[in-house]
Chain A
Amino acid sequence: MNLLTYFVKNQNLILKLTLEHIKITFIAVSISTIIGVIIGILITRYRRAATPVIGIAGIIYTIPSLALFGMLIPFIGIGMKPALIALILYSQLALIRNTYVGITHIDASIREAGKGMGMSPWQFLRMVELPVALPVIMAGIRTASVMNIGTATIAAYIGAGGLGWLIFRGIASVNAEQIIAGAVPVTLLAIGVDYVFVLLERVLTPAGLRH
């Protein structure tokens, strides 16, 4: 009963924090998608760079989030900025790898036909490689989004805001209602975003590839 009262009494705060959380995640995913897809495309053109680039993205991915935040604070301070940078760095593995795999898995015969027909590399990228790789790239964006919702929760610790703020405040003041008021919306948010992406993947998969 206490819980429900807490939710009703603090609904404006919870809503504000949820929107903040969505905003952080959305900005981070948007920027990482642009960077990750571009890097992913570039390493399909310079194949020798693929292994080291994906390797570095993998190493970044393994750094514990609090450690990464800590490392960024001396240079950038606290708040939204270091949080966004950390989220963007974490997302790179999923995005670079999926873009690379999606494009390199296109049949050699398709590649040869496109080239032989006189498509420029840019036309082939736009008309063939990206549409065919789109489902795989979308799966990467989905992974990055769900992961960023989780990591953004921890980013509240360095002052980025979002629903993590409620959780950390609740832990500090031993306030179970407050912890749950942060934990439940953030969980629902993660599940909801995952589901939206499943639908989006289905819609964006070109008809000829749905079989």
Chain B
Amino acid sequence: MNPIANTIIQFDKVSKIFPDGTKAVDDVSFEIEEGECVTFVGPSGCGKTTTVKLLNRLVEPTHGSIYLNGEDTGKVDVIALRRGIGYVIQDVGLFPHMTVVQNISLVPRLIGWSTADREKRTDELLTLVGLEPSAFRSRYPHQLSGGQKQRIGVARGLAADPPVILMDEPFGALDPITRAQLQDEFLRLRSRLKKTILFVTHDIDEAIKLGDRIAVMRSGRIVQFAPPVKILSEPADHFVKDLVGKESGLKLMKLAKISDIMVPALAPILEGSSILEAKRLMVEKGSDILLVVNDQGTFRGAIRFEQLNQKDGGTVADLMDLGIPTVRDNGEIQAALEMMLRGERFWLPIVDEEKCLKGIVTMTQFACFFAREAQG
């Protein structure tokens, strides 16, 4: 987390006791930083939904205070407060008598945007959530699939460009394929829009995948509030451990990026270098293999020691192995491991988006990764 980031949301000893005596939220305190996505996870009835609804005052706290941008939310106008917080819910709640445009541009309309601005914004948002504006603008909710409805729901939540967004199990009612797709798009959206997001889910995998930090809740209390890696590697108690499940090692692997485990490639050689030079470099580095790049640093191939004896003259480019599979530096390590096992390769070159050689992974890096995670 960014050390200079500002606290945007603060819960200070907040409790909610319903009239029937249920303690839905029990003395909860936490802070959320600007631009952070916090997922609230736990079994049903744990208070996760109530907790986020306390922020936009759909639920009023019994005790304690909640601050948004340093202001006590209990003391500001509730309507203005809600208009400044995007709200996306599981059942979407699109207005059935309004078109997609009217649904999305409702909050902008309430706060007095001009028609032209609203239309421009709607088209922008439809494109952002992956729907073709011309095809969807004038549709009614009953003409949309579940996944499309929720995309519109997300677009509506973003409409007036609120800095904070509450999402209450937004993907909970979708089929697994649509859900995975929307989760991926959510991550893509997040990297483009710097929003502070409070995301409620009952699915620990979703919480791990989408959250910068996870608040694990039980019986109205936050049991653990930590980044996903920490939840997986150091669960606070048995409850969190059970929630995470048996496959915490595999889940951890999903979180890590190739760039977290790769090592720099040992002295790459230019493709125009002479065979002699390659031999000298191998001897110097004590290595049997060299990675070959062109003068832009683009990965080209690899050359092995035994190949060098085939010919004395010429360049490395004449002899090297081509067509070696590469892996992107921001890729998932699980996919890389899969590639190595299937292709029976012992190492993989890592490249960036310009195909420039960034490093290398071997089985050793995987072994180190798991050993490190096992130790915490």
Q: A208: nearest residue on chain B (CB-CB)?
A: B140
- Decide: A117 near B98, CB < 8 A? Known: A109-B92, A109-B93, A110-B93: no
**When A and B form their complex, which 8 residue pairs have the shortest distance between CB atoms, in order from nearest?**
A113-B93, A118-B82, A109-B91, A118-B83, A206-B97, A208-B140, A116-B87, A109-B93
Q: Is B79 an interface residue (CB 8 A)?
A: yes
For A127, the chain B residues whose CB sits under 8 A away are 95, 106
Q: How far is the CA of A116 from the CA of B79 in the complex (A)?
A: 9
Chain B interface, number of residues (Cβ within 8 angstroms): 29
B135 to chain A, nearest CB (A): 17
Q: Is B110 an interface residue (CB 8 A)?
A: yes
Contact present for A123 and B110 (CB under 8 Å): yes
Partner of A120 from B79, B81, B153 at Cβ < 8 Å: B79
For B89, the chain A residues whose CB sits under 8 A away are 109, 112-113, 116
Contact present for A118 and B97 (CB under 8 Å): no
Partner of B81 from A114, A118, A131, A207 at Cβ < 8 Å: A118
Q: Is A119 an interface residue (CB 8 A)?
A: yes
Contact present for A110 and B95 (CB under 8 Å): yes
8 Å CB interface, A129-168 against B: 131-132
Q: Can you add 8 more A-B contacts, CB < 8 Å, to A127-B95, A206-B97, A207-B140?
A: A109-B92, A113-B92, A114-B95, A115-B58, A118-B81, A118-B110, A119-B106, A208-B142
8 Å CB interface, A175-211 against B: 206-209, 211
Q: Is A128 an interface residue (CB 8 A)?
A: yes
Partner of B82 from A111, A116, A132, A211 at Cβ < 8 Å: A116
B144 to chain A, nearest CB (A): 11
Query: Interface of A with B (CB < 8 Å)?
Result: 107-120, 123, 127-128, 131-132, 206-209, 211
Q: A206: nearest residue on chain B (CB-CB)?
A: B97
B318 to chain A, nearest CB (A): 67
Q: How far is the CA of A117 from the CA of B156 in the complex (A)?
A: 9
Q: How far is the CA of A113 from the CA of B98 in the complex (A)?
A: 14
Q: How far is the CA of A113 from the CA of B81 in the complex (A)?
A: 14
Contact present for B82 and A115 (CB under 8 Å): yes
Q: How far is the CA of A136 from the CA of B199 in the complex (A)?
A: 37
Q: Is B94 an interface residue (CB 8 A)?
A: yes
Q: How far is the CA of A118 from the CA of B86 in the complex (A)?
A: 10
Q: How far is the CA of A128 from the CA of B94 in the complex (A)?
A: 10
Q: B142: nearest residue on chain A (CB-CB)?
A: A211
Partner of B107 from A108, A115, A118, A207 at Cβ < 8 Å: A118
Q: Is B141 an interface residue (CB 8 A)?
A: yes
B49 to chain A, nearest CB (A): 11
- Decide: A118 near B80, CB < 8 A? Known: A109-B93, A112-B89, A132-B96: yes
Q: How far is the CA of A20 from the CA of B80 in the complex (A)?
A: 52
Q: Is B224 an interface residue (CB 8 A)?
A: no
Contact present for B141 and A208 (CB under 8 Å): yes
For B98, the chain A residues whose CB sits under 8 A away are 208
- Decide: A208 near B82, CB < 8 A? Known: A109-B91, A119-B110: no
Q: Is B122 an interface residue (CB 8 A)?
A: no
Contact present for A112 and B80 (CB under 8 Å): no
Q: B82: nearest residue on chain A (CB-CB)?
A: A118
Q: B139: nearest residue on chain A (CB-CB)?
A: A208
For A113, the chain B residues whose CB sits under 8 A away are 87, 89, 92-95, 153
Q: How far is the CA of A136 from the CA of B93 in the complex (A)?
A: 20
Q: How far is the CA of A29 from the CA of B100 in the complex (A)?
A: 36
For A120, the chain B residues whose CB sits under 8 A away are 79
Q: Is B294 an interface residue (CB 8 A)?
A: no
Give me 28 A-to-B residue pairs in the complex whose CB atoms sit less than 8 angstroms apart, sorted by A's number: A107-B91, A107-B93, A109-B90, A110-B93, A110-B94, A110-B95, A110-B96, A111-B93, A112-B93, A113-B87, A113-B93, A113-B94, A113-B95, A113-B153, A116-B87, A116-B166, A117-B82, A117-B107, A118-B80, A119-B106, A120-B79, A132-B96, A206-B96, A206-B97, A208-B98, A208-B140, A208-B142, A211-B142
